[in-house]
Structure 1
């Protein structure tokens, strides 16, 4: 039995993991889905930045006294999850990045890709990044119901996207699985490709889009289970 700690990406809360969590529990694991500050049922908690999200994850692990932890970060959440993974020390069994950004010391989530439009949107929306329109989720293996749930999710606190990550050791030293969702592009981003050169990292692919917790929860749960039982 493994303790999974699941963290979804921008706009989403713990609710996004319901289908995956049920399958993991059916396989005998304990599952703890985390809603980050400023999102979903915690929308009235105003985060002071990305480091607040790192603390959210670390404090959940410590509050529950978890050990043998598999930390899972999807999309944006890969940035705080990667930082939290090194901070929980020997409690960590493995970290899994699901089609996720990874933290790069001194760089933010928005570093390294054309982000001026996102920054302008955050400024215009009072410091928040609203979910994209329905048309932006086409071709990702999602149903109309899935898309409606994401579009109706919480605007994401913009400051968490612009604050730089803080790492105290090379991320490649952590035992990690990277899950690349092929409908969102065949190749991992350069920062991920570099980390996959580590003998402690493995690459797994899923033939689905960027939100596999909705489009293929069973397949994603199997990948997570297999990551947990790796030596």
Structure 2
């Protein structure tokens, strides 16, 4: 039995996995969605990136989980990638869902082409990254109902988590990993991921959907996660 620890990207909490969790549990596995500090029901809690790393590590340790499949979506690939090496032999695999990946000494904004714009937006909004609008979700394979759920449930994202640098003790390519590329959000992974995919430990899987597959294709995403856990 695998234990999936699920972490959604910016603005989202554990609730984003509500349609994925039952599929994983029905297949006989543990499924543990995590809300990062400062988001959803933890809104108002101060948080930097290392706070988010500890949120993930702390959940694994609190529940004493083994055979852990860490799943990081979008922004959360950065804290999840760091947490993956910190949980040691508890880790079975890390799965990055259309996500950023951590680079030692680099932050979300420094390692992303649109990072400067994000940093300016955060400064203008008093230290928070303002959630997306419905218009920002166009072309991502979402129904109007799914867009409303995504946008309506989002909370401002703590800006400090976007500017604090990642800390890695060893190369990320040494970890057993699967990268899920959502094709409606771009046909190719970013250059950092392309380089990592040359590692014998990494696998690429493509999904014909947009950047938020937990909303647009939850059953298909669950099957993809189950397949990754079996590698």
TM over 0.5: yes
Unmatched 5+ stretches in structure 1: none
Counterpart in 1 of 2:88?
A: 89
SS where residue 18 of structure 2 aligns? helix
Counterpart in 2 of 1:133?
A: 133
Q: Assess if the C-alpha contact under 8 Å between 1:4 and 1:69 holds in 2.
A: yes
Q: Is residue 149 of structure 2 the alignment partner of residue 168 of structure 1?
A: no
Structure 1 residue 217, shift from structure 2 partner: 0.5
- How high is the TM-score relative to the length of structure 2? 0.97
Unmatched 5+ stretches in structure 2: none
Structure 1 residue 155, shift from structure 2 partner: 0.5
Q: Assess if the C-alpha contact under 8 Å between 2:108 and 2:115 holds in 1.
A: no
Q: Is residue 108 of structure 2 the alignment partner of residue 109 of structure 1?
A: yes
Counterpart in 2 of 1:72?
A: 71
SS where residue 78 of structure 1 aligns? helix
Q: Superposed, which structure 2 residues align to 1:191-210 within 5 Å?
A: 191-210=192-211
- How high is the TM-score relative to the length of structure 1? 0.97
Structure 1 residue 179, shift from structure 2 partner: 0.1
Q: Is residue 60 of structure 2 the alignment partner of residue 61 of structure 1?
A: yes
Mapped partners of 2:115, 2:30: distance in 1: 37
Alpha-carbon RMSD: 0.8
SS where residue 9 of structure 1 aligns? coil
SS where residue 110 of structure 1 aligns? helix
Q: Deviations over 1:115-139 (max 9, x none)?
A: 2221121111110001122111101
Mapped partners of 1:22, 1:110: distance in 2: 34
Structure 1 residue 146, shift from structure 2 partner: 1.7
Q: Deviations over 1:35-78 (max 9, x none)?
A: 0000000002111x100000000010000000000000000000
Q: Deviations over 1:145-166 (max 9, x none)?
A: 2212222210000110111100
Q: Superposed, which structure 2 residues align to 1:181-220 within 5 Å?
A: 181-220=182-221
